[in-house]
């Protein structure tokens, strides 16, 4: 069964080729297009599940040692030998499950959402291509194939952000995403070069087995360069600026690519390279600090936005910051856990936002919404579940994963109390802006125009069913990883332990199993660790509840208060509302100077040096031709003289 | 009898004929004369070939001569046909007046 892993990415590839080449040329019926696209994903999902279960049946230590499924040699040149090969282990199969599963539901949702779009077939072929590339990324068994997937998802992201390319904003947003991602990819590529130069192989198994021979500086450089790649793809400081603009794409695209799957690939990549990161404490610290900073910084920008998709975009950046915080403190499986739960609830939130837009005739500004919870009950309730999950309310999936990250940030050997503090503060902000979004959108007086008001309606079942499924997952998805301190069993960590083994959770586990004898002998130090964990859990829940209460107070009870506060702290409000002017600063510092450099090179170097040089050569030849053509006189005997003289000269030369 | 004459004499004669032919090609204006001069150069070459062939006691040179003669005959047919057409078209076969193909 496990050898059939290559089928998982194959189905979306076939779907892409069919929809992209055949269906688009012969203008097939929409129903066929959607059936092909969705069933390709359905089969992919099915095979992911089957392979997952055959993997579970193996002994835990055998799960990480499944031989790579190599299809064929790809590039063989000198020392470089790269294969098209897929790796099945707990980490990659969880990623494959999340990617194919969430994609499947979002494909179904898209059938309803994109129903009247003229680019329907194009949309589904891009979406299938995206899933193919994403699965290639997560299942690849070497860095180069992973990079192919990495670039492929970037391409699809560009194509789908600019899906409505006839308008300026999406086209520019796509361009921005592409250019910003290039910067990150450059770092990733350099890291790959460095790995190959140092170790002579790019296969994960070989690289991680040989990693111990690297010296500390090299590993630090490699891991930092990899992290540069991750900041681009996963929208971390300083390369996060493309993600909010990416919301110009269709909403299911924002849900799939810019929330659930593609943007998390940086986290996956770091978890995959945990062997290298564990050898480079400096890089770990950088990852953790950047993650924590992004978490709180993006959350603060989300506080004041009025565009529902932009709030969710900043929220995504912030949650990605959490994941990086987790992998940065060495809690790799906690990061992957949050990646999974985040895929559920953030995917759901975006789909919910899409459903709201559907109800509100495409409106995005939450100031023009309100009071629609009765008119669109399924959208509201599923959105509510996702909001509770992201806010970290106990019992919902986000609670388990976020709380684990916060605990690890505090407790792990790489952790620090400041990291915890920042994370907890960001959690409070998350709860606040998510409930602000919920209250302003769904409650209160409806502020839409009469025309829009008349059309408010619930979405069709093809859109609401994926919402319900994802809501269920957001509700129960966390129970695979209940913290030990709550008396549960963390299946998720146990499953990932063979791959990510040796992470702090393991240590915590052994410490915990020692608690009872330690208590018996009167030792209280380990026990206080457990109490501490419970205490911090209580604190973070309290912070979340506080955030919710403030949102409730400001947006349900005293609805005129936010405006007054905004006027009171006008400077602060303006700065935060304008996203700290980072886009403008980047524009002034980097974009404009690059443009000026480009203009300079174009006008001075390209026009002035290269073009002028080429023209000079051409004119020289023209002149030379004008001179030399006089030789051709038309007198045959003249030519014959030349021939004979030439022959004589050659003969003289030969007999000399 | 022939063997008593040293081959160098034959070669000198052949060189003289060749030189006359070459000069004729370069300086005569009538295309037919030019053509005949070319034939003279062929003959000079043939004489050289036969001389060396005889001197070296090999048949290679003789064989070559047959080729040269065949080609010369074919060339004569084509060349004379061209002159006839040229004369019809332009009323002259003076080579220095047939000079349209120039810059």
* Residue A173 included in any domain: no
Residues from chain A that touch B92, judged by Cβ atoms under 8 A, are none
- Of the pLDDT bands very low, low, confident and very high (cuts 50, 70, 90), residue A527 is low
Of A75, A109, A139, the residue that ends a domain is A139
* Contact across the interface for B26 and A630, Cβ inside 8 Å: no
The share of chain A scoring above pLDDT 90, in percent, equals 62
CA distances from A621 to A614, A616, A628, A648, B28 (A): 11, 9, 10, 31, 37
Q: Three-state SS for A89?
A: coil
> What's the gap in Å between the CA of A656 and the closest CA on chain B?
19
CA distances from A156 to A92, A126, A269 (A): 21, 6, 19
Same structural domain for residues A475 and A606? no
* Residue A482 included in any domain: yes
Of B25, B26, B100, the CB nearest to A634: B100
Same structural domain for residues A559 and A594? no
Q: Is the pLDDT reported for residue A257 higher than 60? A: yes
Inter-residue contact A37 to A106 (CB < 8 Å): no
- Of the pLDDT bands very low, low, confident and very high (cuts 50, 70, 90), residue A513 is very low
Same structural domain for residues A398 and A544? yes
* Contact across the interface for A637 and B26, Cβ inside 8 Å: yes
Inter-residue contact A277 to A327 (CB < 8 Å): yes
Of A139, A157, A176, the residue that ends a domain is A139
CA distances from A553 to A123, A170, A352, A546, B21 (A): 42, 36, 24, 10, 118
Q: Which residue do the tokens 């070669």 mark?
A: B11
- Of the pLDDT bands very low, low, confident and very high (cuts 50, 70, 90), residue A636 is confident
Q: List helix spans (H) across A5-119.
A: 7-17, 24-26, 30-57, 60-63, 90-113
Q: Is the pLDDT reported for residue A407 higher than 50? A: yes
Q: d(Cα A233, Cα A187) in Å, to the nearest integer?
A: 11
Q: d(Cα A311, Cα A254) in Å, to the nearest integer?
A: 12
Domain limits at A509? 268-577
Q: Is the pLDDT reported for residue A509 higher than 70? A: no
Same structural domain for residues A564 and A628? no
CA distances from A518 to A26, A220, A274, A508, A513 (A): 73, 39, 32, 14, 9
Of B26, B95, B101, the CB nearest to A641: B26
CB contact burial A219-232 (16+ within 10 A = b; e otherwise): bbbbbbbbbbbbbb
Interchain contact B27–A (C-beta under 8 A)? yes
Contacts of A441 (CB under 8 A, 6+ apart): A308, A356, A366, A369, A370, A372
Token pair of A5, please?
Answer: 């892993």
Q: d(Cα B43, Cα B39) in Å, to the nearest integer?
A: 6
Q: What are the backbone dihedrals phi and psi of residue B92, each rounded to the nearest 5 degrees, phi first?
A: -155, 155
Distance of CA A62 to the CA centre of its chain: 30
In chain B, the residue whose alpha carbon lies closest to the alpha carbon of A629 is B103
Of A630, A640, A641, the CB nearest to B103: A630
Which candidate, A369, A420, A372, A398, places its Cα nearest to that of A536?
A: A420
Of B22, B95, B103, the CB nearest to A629: B103
Domains of chain B by residue range: 2-90
DSSP assignment, residue A4?
A: G
Q: Please report the pLDDT score of residue B2 as a whole number.
A: 58
The burial class, CB within 10 Å (0-12 / 13-18 / 19+), for A459 is buried
Could you report the predicted ipTM of this complex, rounded to two decimals?
0.88
Tell me the average pLDDT across A608-612: 93
* Contact across the interface for A635 and B96, Cβ inside 8 Å: yes
Q: What are the backbone dihedrals phi and psi of residue A249, each rounded to the nearest 5 degrees, phi first?
A: -75, 170
Q: List helix spans (H) across A329-396.
A: 332-359, 377-391
* Residue A211 included in any domain: no
- Of the pLDDT bands very low, low, confident and very high (cuts 50, 70, 90), residue A92 is very high
What is the dihedral sign for C-alpha A178, A183, A186, A187?
Answer: negative
Report residues of chain B scoring pLDDT below 70.
1-3
DSSP assignment, residue A360?
A: T
pLDDT digits (tens, 9 = 90+) for A196-225: 999 989 999 999 999 889 999 999 999 999
pLDDT digits (tens, 9 = 90+) for A270-293: 999 999 999 999 999 999 999 999
CA atoms within 13 A on the CB side of A50: 14
- Of the pLDDT bands very low, low, confident and very high (cuts 50, 70, 90), residue A525 is very low
- The CATH code of the domain at B2-90 is 1.10.287.3510
Interface A-B: count of C-beta contacts within 8 A: 31
Q: Please report the pLDDT score of residue B3 as a whole number.
A: 63
CA Rg value for chain B: 17
Of A629, A634, A640, the CB nearest to B26: A640
Mean pLDDT, chain A, integer: 89
Token pair of A428, please?
Answer: 């409070």
Q: Is the pLDDT reported for residue A481 higher than 90? A: no
**What are A585's strand-pairing partners?**
none
Q: d(Cα A328, Cα A412) in Å, to the nearest integer?
A: 10
**What are A535's strand-pairing partners?**
none
Q: d(Cα A221, Cα A217) in Å, to the nearest integer?
A: 6
Contacts of A497 (CB under 8 A, 6+ apart): A60, A333, A503, A505, A506
In chain A, the residue whose alpha carbon lies closest to the alpha carbon of B23 is A641
In chain B, the residue whose alpha carbon lies closest to the alpha carbon of A630 is B103
Q: Is the pLDDT reported for residue A516 higher than 80? A: no
Of A139, A159, A183, the residue that ends a domain is A139
Same structural domain for residues A519 and A607? no
Q: d(Cα A334, Cα A327) in Å, to the nearest integer?
A: 8
Same structural domain for residues A475 and A564? yes
* Residue A195 included in any domain: no
pLDDT digits (tens, 9 = 90+) for A299-341: 999 998 899 999 999 999 999 999 999 999 999 999 999 999 9
Q: Is the pLDDT reported for residue A514 higher than 70? A: no
Interchain contact A644–B (C-beta under 8 A)? yes
> What's the gap in Å between the CA of A23 and the closest CA on chain B?
59
In chain A, the residue whose alpha carbon lies closest to the alpha carbon of B26 is A637
* Residue A258 included in any domain: no
Q: Please report the pLDDT score of residue A292 as a whole number.
A: 94
Q: d(Cα A218, Cα A211) in Å, to the nearest integer?
A: 10
In chain A, the residue whose alpha carbon lies closest to the alpha carbon of B102 is A634
Q: d(Cα A610, Cα B18) in Å, to the nearest integer?
A: 56
Percent of chain A as helix, strand, coil, to the nearest 5: 80, 5, 15
Q: Is the pLDDT reported for residue A415 higher than 90? A: no
Inter-residue contact A64 to A469 (CB < 8 Å): no
* Residue A180 included in any domain: no
Interchain contact A637–B (C-beta under 8 A)? yes
* Contact across the interface for A637 and B27, Cβ inside 8 Å: yes
DSSP letters, A335-347, are HHHHHHHHHHHHH
- Of the pLDDT bands very low, low, confident and very high (cuts 50, 70, 90), residue A524 is very low
Interchain contact A641–B (C-beta under 8 A)? yes
* Residue A196 included in any domain: no
Same structural domain for residues A445 and A550? yes
Q: Is the pLDDT reported for residue A171 higher than 90? A: yes
In chain A, the residue whose alpha carbon lies closest to the alpha carbon of B21 is A644
* Contact across the interface for A633 and B27, Cβ inside 8 Å: no
Residues from chain A that touch B27, judged by Cβ atoms under 8 A, are 637
Q: Which residue do the tokens 């004119």 mark?
A: A619
> What's the gap in Å between the CA of A647 and the closest CA on chain B?
12
Inter-residue contact A364 to A308 (CB < 8 Å): yes
Q: d(Cα A436, Cα A548) in Å, to the nearest integer?
A: 8
* Residue A249 included in any domain: no
Interchain contact A655–B (C-beta under 8 A)? no
Tell me the average pLDDT across A67-93: 90
Q: Is the pLDDT reported for residue A613 higher than 70? A: yes
Q: d(Cα A491, Cα A481) in Å, to the nearest integer?
A: 6
* Contact across the interface for B99 and A634, Cβ inside 8 Å: yes
The share of chain A scoring above pLDDT 70, in percent, equals 96
Which candidate, A405, A419, A181, places its Cα nearest to that of A296?
A: A419
In chain B, the residue whose alpha carbon lies closest to the alpha carbon of A631 is B103
Q: In chain A, how many domains are there? A: 3
pLDDT digits (tens, 9 = 90+) for A340-370: 999 999 999 999 999 999 888 888 888 888 8
pTM of the model: 0.80
Token pair of A436, please?
Answer: 């602000």
> What's the gap in Å between the CA of B34 and the closest CA on chain A?
10
Same structural domain for residues A395 and A413? yes
Which candidate, A317, A2, A319, A293, places its Cα nearest to that of A180?
A: A317
CA distances from A349 to A107, A312, A356, A546, A609 (A): 15, 8, 10, 22, 54
Residues from chain B that touch A629, judged by Cβ atoms under 8 A, are 103
Q: Please report the pLDDT score of residue A271 as a whole number.
A: 94
The burial class, CB within 10 Å (0-12 / 13-18 / 19+), for A332 is buried
Residues from chain B that touch A635, judged by Cβ atoms under 8 A, are 95-96, 99, 102
Tell me the average pLDDT across A136-143: 94
């Amino acid at each position: 069964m496990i050898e059939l892993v290559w089928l998982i990415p194959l189905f979306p590839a076939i779907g892409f080729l069919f929809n992209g080449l055949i269906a688009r040329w012969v203008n097939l019926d929409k129903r066929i297009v959607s059936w092909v696209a969705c069933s390709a994903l359905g089969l992919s999902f099915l095979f992911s599940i089957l392979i997952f279960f055959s993997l579970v049946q193996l002994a835990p230590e055998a799960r990480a040692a499944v031989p790579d499924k190599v299809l064929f040699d790809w590039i063989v040149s000198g020392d470089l030998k790269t294969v098209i090969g897929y790796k099945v282990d707990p980490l990659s199969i969880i990623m494959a499950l999340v990617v194919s599963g969430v994609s499947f539901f979002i494909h179904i949702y898209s059938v309803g959402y994109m129903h009247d779009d003229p680019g329907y077939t194009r949309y589904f072929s891009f979406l299938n291509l995206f899933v193919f590339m994403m699965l290639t990324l997560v299942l690849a068994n070497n860095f180069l194939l992973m990079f192919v997937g990495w670039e492929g998802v970037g391409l699809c992201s560009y194509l789908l952000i600019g899906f409505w390319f006839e308008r300026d904003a999406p086209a520019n947003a796509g361009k921005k995403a592409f250019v910003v991602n290039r910067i990150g990819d450059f770092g990733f590529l350099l890291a790959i070069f460095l790995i190959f130069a140092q170790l002579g192989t790019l296969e994960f198994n070989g690289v991680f087995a040989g990693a111990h021979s690297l010296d500390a500086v090299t590993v630090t450089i490699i891991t930092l360069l990899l992290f540069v790649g991750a900041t681009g793809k996963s929208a971390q400081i300083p390369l996060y600026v493309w993600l909010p603009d990416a919301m110009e794409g269709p909403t299911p695209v924002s849900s799939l690519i810019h929330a659930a799957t593609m943007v998390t690939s940086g986290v996956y990549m770091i978890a995959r390279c945990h062997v290298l990161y564990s050898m480079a404490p400096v890089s770990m610290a950088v990852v953790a600090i950047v993650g924590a900073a992004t978490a709180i910084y993006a959350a603060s920008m989300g506080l004041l936005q009025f565009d529902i998709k932009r709030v969710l975009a900043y929220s995504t950046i912030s949650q990605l910051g959490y994941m990086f915080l987790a992998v940065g403190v060495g809690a790799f499986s906690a990061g992957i856990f949050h990646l999974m739960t985040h895929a559920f609830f953030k995917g759901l939130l975006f789909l919910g936002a899409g459903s709201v837009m559907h109800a509100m005739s495409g409106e995005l500004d939450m100031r023009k919404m309100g009071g629609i919870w009765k008119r669109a009950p399924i959208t509201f309730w599923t959105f509510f579940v996702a909001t509770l999950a992201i806010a970290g309310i106990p019992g919902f999936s986000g609670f388990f994963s976020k709380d684990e990250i916060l605990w690890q940030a505090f407790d792990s050997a790489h952790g620090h109390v400041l990291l915890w503090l920042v994370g907890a503060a960001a959690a409070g902000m998350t709860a606040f802006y998510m409930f602000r979004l919920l209250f302003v959108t769904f409650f209160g007086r409806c502020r839409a125009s009469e025309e829009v008001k008349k059309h408010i309606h619930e979405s069709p079942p093809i859109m609401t069913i994926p919402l319900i499924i994802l809501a269920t997952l957001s509700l129960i998805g966390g129970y695979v990883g209940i913290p030990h301190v709550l008396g549960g069993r963390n299946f998720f960590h146990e499953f990932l332990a063979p791959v990510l083994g040796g992470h702090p959770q393991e240590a915590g586990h052994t410490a915990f199993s020692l608690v009872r004898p330690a208590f018996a002998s009167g030792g209280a130090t380990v026990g206080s660790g457990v109490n501490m964990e419970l205490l911090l859990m209580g604190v973070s829940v309290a912070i979340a509840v506080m955030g919710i209460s403030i949102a409730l107070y400001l947006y349900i009870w005293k609805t005129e208060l936010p405006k007054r506060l905004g006027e009171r702290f006008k400077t602060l409000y303006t700065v935060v509302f304008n996203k700290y002017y980072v886009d403008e600063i980047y524009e002034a510092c980097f974009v404009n100077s690059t443009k000026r450099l480009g203009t300079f090179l174009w006008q001075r170097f390209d026009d002035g040096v290269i073009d002028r040089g080429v023209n000079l050569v051409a004119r020289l030849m023209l002149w030379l031709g004008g001179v030399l053509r006089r030789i051709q006189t038309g007198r045959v005997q003249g030519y014959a003289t030349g021939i004979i003289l030439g022959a004589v000269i050659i003969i003289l030369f030969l007999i000399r | 009898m022939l063997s008593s004459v040293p081959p160098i004499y034959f070669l000198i004669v052949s060189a003289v004929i060749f030189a006359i032919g070459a000069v004729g090609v370069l300086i005569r204006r009538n295309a037919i004369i030019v053509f005949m001069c070319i034939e003279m150069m062929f003959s000079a070459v043939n004489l050289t070939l036969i001389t060396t062939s005889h001197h070296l006691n090999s048949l290679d040179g003789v064989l070559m001569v047959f080729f040269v003669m065949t080609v010369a005959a074919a060339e004569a047919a084509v060349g004379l046909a061209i002159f006839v057409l040229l004369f019809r078209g332009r009323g002259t076969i003076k080579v220095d007046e047939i000079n349209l193909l120039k810059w």
